[in-house]
Structure 1
Amino acid sequence: MAKVKIEEIIDYIDTDIRKALSETIKKHFPNEDFNDREVFRTFKRMISRKCSSWENVPDGFVEKE
């Protein structure tokens, strides 16, 4: 098993994840207003609370160039 720093990965691809999270919320709650940056900050806090700093993932999920 490989280990990844999940928070670092989220920070590295934050623009794409923030957009995907925003679009998901808009799709499920079309009449609600929200600040996508604030939602993303909360999302990252929840990840840090629920996940270990280093998460084990199957080797097949990691490719090193």
Structure 2
Amino acid sequence: MHPVTLLLGIHNHQPVGNFGHVFRLAYDRCYRPFLDLLERHPRIRLTLHYTGPLLDWFEKEEPDFLDRLAKL
């Protein structure tokens, strides 16, 4: 049997004009826990994509998230 290579690409998006509480809920339930997991398992290799509105929200509301993300 031949080895299989799996490529993971994670796309994260919130639409322009979405409500702040929706961003917060997604951050608390998804984005932050996933980053926590990646920090605990540094051998996981993947591509992460975040859209502009989401990056803008992180920069304003959770700048530490971007610092942590940059360290991966």
TM-score by length of 2: 0.28
Q: Could you say which structure has the higher helix fraction? A: 1
